[in-house]
Chains A and B, each alone.
Chain A
Amino acid sequence: MKVFRLCMAATALASVLAGGTALADPVDKLEHVKVELVAPPLVHAHEQATKAAPRVIQFRMVIEEKKVVIDEENGTTLQAMTFNGSMPGPTMVVHEGDYVELTLVNPDTNALEHNIDFHAATGALGGASLTIVKPGEEAVLRFKADRSGVFIYHCAPEGMVPWHVVSGMSGTIMVLPRDGLKDAAGNALHYDRAYTIGEFDLYIPKDEDGNYKEYDTALESYGDTVEVMRGLIPTHVVFNGKVGALTGDGAMTAKVGESVLFIHASANRDTRPHLIGGHGDWVWETGKFANAPEKDLETWFIRGGSAGAAFYTFKQPGVYAYVNHNLIEAFELGAAGHVKVDGKWNDDLMKQVAAPRPVTAK
């Protein structure tokens, strides 16, 4: 099989860029702010509209390779690779014009080399060629977040990009406009909470008896996994790392009258989110806030390799399902979660006029 390689004189590039650091960099003088990341589906506290001047927002992520259970009912495992131990990696939030400064740590307990490619960044393969870290190394990358929107970040080590991505190494950065989100008419949209959903297409090999295989290390899973990947049919499609991660105790919550921003990212494969019983009031399905959002969507579409965002104000209580509306992918392969919503039922929007009963005579 012909495998594509991105041939790039990474070392040469790094030395050219490093040459610039000898001069005073005006960005060094900007206010620097450290932000602690939180595990998905939560998003760290942040302002929406802001009066602050552009700043340097500092994040730190630690790469963790580990075996995870992706389907508790069947005990199926994945030799996962993660940013900060979670699938997806944590969502970072900054404002347009800020600088993102990430320290990427690869502890010596890992086996593999990693890096990071930010779709929000410009140059050097998204930062990938400047952040190649072996186990026991770390690197610091700074880039200007000069475009608003939700953007993927993912690992992209030369020669084995798809494997690292489908093994869990992706997440989202949200670059908010400095004056916050707007609807199509330019009216401000303020959300009360934001949730981040990372959808993962997984390719778990099976043995001769049809049982999912388990491996001792990530590299031992490589050869078989690539064979499944080449078939382009995932064995599982999950939100946030495993079947049912966003159900039960893990369900997202909201109240009637609250507005929620659902950030949905899929680094490798297309998906089509839908909120059963709800809508997308305002949706940026391509995820870029300088474009007017679409209104009243039933189902939206996230291209593989992108993130999108949907704004919805809940009007009815109950348990909603948030799914990939290829329903096989949702209910057979795992791409479904729940939103538990408290509040008062609205009979005007919906009313059960007659409960199910035997058919009455004409």
Chain B
Amino acid sequence: MFKTLGIAALALALAPFASMAADGGKVNPSGEKLYKSSCVACHSTGAANAPKLGNKKAWEPIIARGMDEMMAVAINGRGAMPARGGTKADDAALRAAVEYMVSRVR
């Protein structure tokens, strides 16, 4: 698990536009679940200027900054984005949700 995520993060940082799903299809299903229960509130509509799910243009510069930076925002919040996306999700679930959102930018 750790290894997979580590590789995924590395791959992400090096090749920003690679699809996560292409990575052997190893997408953590808890990511989509967390996205659909909570993150969707802002990221489906762009509420509070959130980057919309699937909006390549909005996500490119975010992905370019790398997984560590995205996780820092997911964990600590930034602007209107609440810490942990306003949930009590743990780091692994948050990372999976970030990966899910990244995977949807093709």
Contacts and interface: CB of A to CB of B under 8 A. Distances in A.
B48 A219 contact: no
A186 interface: no
Given A219-B41, A222-B38, A223-B37, A112 B86 contact: yes
A217 B38 CA distance: 9
A218 interface: yes
B82 A112 contact: yes
A220 B41 CA distance: 10
Contacts of B42: 159-160
Contacts of A224: 37
A216 B88 contact: yes
Interface residues of A, number: 21
A160 B45 CA distance: 8
Contact of A217 (B44, B48, B80, B87): B87
B16 interface: no
A159 B82 contact: no
Contact of B45 (A5, A135, A217): A5
Contacts of B50: 159
Nearest to A222: B41
B79 A134 contact: yes
Interface in A109-152: 111-113, 134-135
Given A111-B86, A219-B86, A3 B44 contact: yes
A219 B47 contact: no
Given A111-B82, A134-B79, A135-B82, A220 B38 contact: yes
A159 B82 CA distance: 16
A90 interface: no
A58 to B, nearest CB: 27
A298 interface: no
B90 to A, nearest CB: 12
A289 interface: no
A322 interface: no
Contacts of B85: 219
Contacts of B79: 134
B64 interface: no
Contact of B87 (A134, A158, A216): A216
Given A134-B80, A223-B38, A217 B46 contact: no
B40 interface: yes
20 contacts: A111-B82, A111-B83, A111-B86, A112-B80, A113-B80, A135-B82, A157-B48, A159-B42, A159-B45, A159-B50, A160-B45, A216-B87, A217-B38, A220-B37, A220-B38, A220-B86, A220-B88, A222-B41, A223-B40, A226-B40
Given A158-B45, A159-B45, 4 more contacts: A158-B48, A219-B85, A219-B86, A220-B37
